[in-house]
Amino acid sequence: MSYALVTGASKGIGKAIAIELAKRKFDLLLIARSEQLLKSVTEEIQKLYSVQVKYLSLDLSDNNAAEQIYNWCRQNNYQVSILVNNAGYGLCGPFDTSSINELTNMMQLNMTTLVKLCHILLPMLKQQSKSYILNVSSTTAYQALPNMSVYAASKTFVLSFTRGLKHELKDTSVSVTCLSPGSTDTAFVERARITPKALEAAKKVNMTPEAVAKDGVKKMFAGKAEVISGGLNQLGAFMAWLLPKTMIEKIAGGIYK
């Protein structure tokens, strides 16, 4: 029996991706910090979709999180055929107003744990007749973002790493996709301390977690390298590429100030 492993699965986009996979009758391994939320999501999915769901409560920003997940899988003989690296968070505000511990913790979760999970589970994924990696980035990956500089840079890393990895694995059974959502109705804005001005601007492009998940999962199975959720977000990424960087950065920095 093989499973789809989803990080950050207790709420938001992660939970929606787990449900989307359950609808397709994939058994699930769910990872997040909150055991209470994970237990609730597990019971909900099992009741509605009649699939096997196992969960592990774990702080994914811990330096040894990937190793703990791998050991859990091996000890219980869980074979992983889909890896969804969804867990991550942002911080809004001038660079020097966040503590270095906050910033490095975010970098650990957004980048290092993601890379470690890809690396440590790749041999298992290669053993499957067909397997998938879905790394969740952000539309902020397409531009520098003043007042969210480290977060945007971490998501640029995820995008670049995922595209490179896809080419490296093109002759294997592993398909790799990067999903880049824009503003989504999740708890992200609370932890990131998004400003009222930015929240108002986001209303124009806000999507539901369910819409993001449906699009991402569908295109993951289609073997797409890159998915930007929503037409307006796709246009925004194109404009960020087309227009002078200084102009885009000035506009974005003003929104998040």
Q: How many CA atoms lie within 13 Å of 84's alpha carbon, on the beta-carbon side?
A: 30
pLDDT tens-digit readout, 26-64: 999 999 999 999 999 999 999 999 999 999 999 999 999
- Among left, alpha and beta (phi > 0; psi -120 to 50; other), residue 107 is alpha
Q: Please, what is the average pLDDT of the chain?
A: 90
pLDDT at 199 exceeding the cut of 60: no
Confidence of residue 92 (pLDDT cuts 50, 70, 90): confident
Annotated active-site residue 151? The verdict is: yes
Catalytic residue (choose from 3, 55, 132, 151)? 151
Nearest to 87 by CA among 116, 105, 61: 61
Q: Give domain 2-255's CATH number out of 3.30.360.10, 3.30.460.10, 3.40.50.720, 1.10.3470.10.
A: 3.40.50.720
Confidence of residue 85 (pLDDT cuts 50, 70, 90): very high
The answer to whether 4 and 27 are in contact (CB under 8 A) is yes
pLDDT at 102 exceeding the cut of 80: yes
Between CA 144 and CA 115 the distance in angstroms is 22
Instruction: Name the residue ranges covered by the structural domains of the chain.
Output: 2-255
Between CA 245 and CA 64 the distance in angstroms is 37
Nearest to 40 by CA among 23, 72, 18: 18
pLDDT tens-digit readout, 209-233: 999 999 999 999 999 999 998 777 7
Q: How many other CB atoms are there within 10 angstroms of residue 198's CB atom?
A: 19
Which residues is 207 bridged to in the sheet? 184
